[in-house]
Amino acid sequence: MQQPILIVEDEAEIARFIQQLLGKEGFTCLQSRDGNDALRQFQAHQPTLVILDWMLPGIDGLEVCTRIRKLAGTHDPYILMLTAKGEELDRVVGLSTGADDYLVKPFSPIELVARVRALLRRSLRQEAQTPVYRTAHFSVDLDRHVATRTIIGEPVELDLTTIEFDLLAAFLSHPGRAWSRTHLVEKLWGDDFFGEERVVDTHVARLRKKIEPDPSHPQFIKTVVGTGYKFEDAAP
């Protein structure tokens, strides 16, 4: 059974419109009007996707996004930030908190449905994958959705968001390969990507903080000037 989509929107008419729009496409939706209730519903229902308004009563959307990413558990939803804040800096801030996509109000209903379907198709593609990638210090099991780093001979499970997990899997799938931002976007999102390629930099920075001994001097995820990034770690 498909897990629901959680719509976090304090304007009742917009929330109702989105629910009706997605309902016609066959999706089951829940609604929440504020940040605290959104967190309660997330923990209770474990939605596949959260459509999250930025400006909310109480806890705002950025804080909700941050807390969802920090919540313990194996389920890590896709988060689509939906907001009237459309400046480039706003998009960067929204994505840096852990959002997977960002759509500015007023939005096209057709585009909203397309982005929702794109994120959920990505989830289905991942479920069809089963390989395990390994290097000297890292292992990524796509079937179990578990990533580990070996520290002093012992594997330690990494606490990664969905994007960070996918990014590490991409790097481990071809150690030593130089990836451009365009190639990483194609690897992670395929033809379903609607945003800006620079979002890759944000997710690389977040991943470095979780796997590098010193993120300011990366040992594993190296910057390739004029190209993008590559992952270096000796084969086991």
Identity of residue 109: P
Q: How many domains does the chain have?
A: 2
pLDDT in tens, 107-142: 899 999 988 988 887 654 454 455 888 999 999 998
Are 199 and 160 in a shared domain? yes
CATH code at position 18: 3.40.50.2300
Q: DSSP readout, 134-166? A: E-SSEEEETTTTEEEEEETTEEEE----HHHHH
Last residue of a domain, one of 127, 154, 172: 127
Percent of the chain at pLDDT > 70 equals 85
* Residue 221: strand pairing partners: 231
pLDDT in tens, 145-165: 899 999 888 889 999 988 899
Are 87 and 150 in a shared domain? no
89 or 5, higher pLDDT: 5
| 42 occurs within a structural domain | yes
Secondary structure of residue 158 in the 3-state scheme: coil
Are 39 and 102 in a shared domain? yes
Are 12 and 95 in a shared domain? yes
Last residue of a domain, one of 127, 147, 168: 127
Secondary structure of residue 225 in the 3-state scheme: coil
Q: Which residue has the tokens 């585009």?
A: 111
Are 26 and 102 in a shared domain? yes
| 236 occurs within a structural domain | no
- Alpha carbons 7 and 31: distance in angstroms, whole number: 5
| 27 occurs within a structural domain | yes
| 173 occurs within a structural domain | yes
Q: Which residue has the tokens 């931002």?
A: 181
Are 123 and 16 in a shared domain? yes
pLDDT in tens, 180-208: 888 888 777 766 566 667 788 889 999 99
Assess contact for 211 and 169: CB atoms under 8 A: no
In sequence order, which residues have a C-beta less than 8 Å from that of residue 136 and are 6 or more positions away?
150, 233, 234, 235, 236
Are 62 and 164 in a shared domain? no
Identity of residue 39: L
In degrees rounded to 5, what are phi and psi of residue 67?
-70, -40
Assess contact for 78 and 95: CB atoms under 8 A: no
Last residue of a domain, one of 102, 127, 152: 127
Are 96 and 28 in a shared domain? yes
Are 148 and 81 in a shared domain? no
Are 21 and 99 in a shared domain? yes
Are 162 and 93 in a shared domain? no
Of all helices (H) and strands (E), which one includes residue 109? helix 109-127
CATH code at position 162: 1.10.10.10
Are 16 and 105 in a shared domain? yes
70 or 64, higher pLDDT: 64
Range of the domain at 184: 132-231
When the pLDDT of each residue in the chain is averaged and rounded to a whole number, the result is: 84
| 101 occurs within a structural domain | yes
- Residues 59-75: what's their mean pLDDT? 79
Assess contact for 30 and 6: CB atoms under 8 A: yes
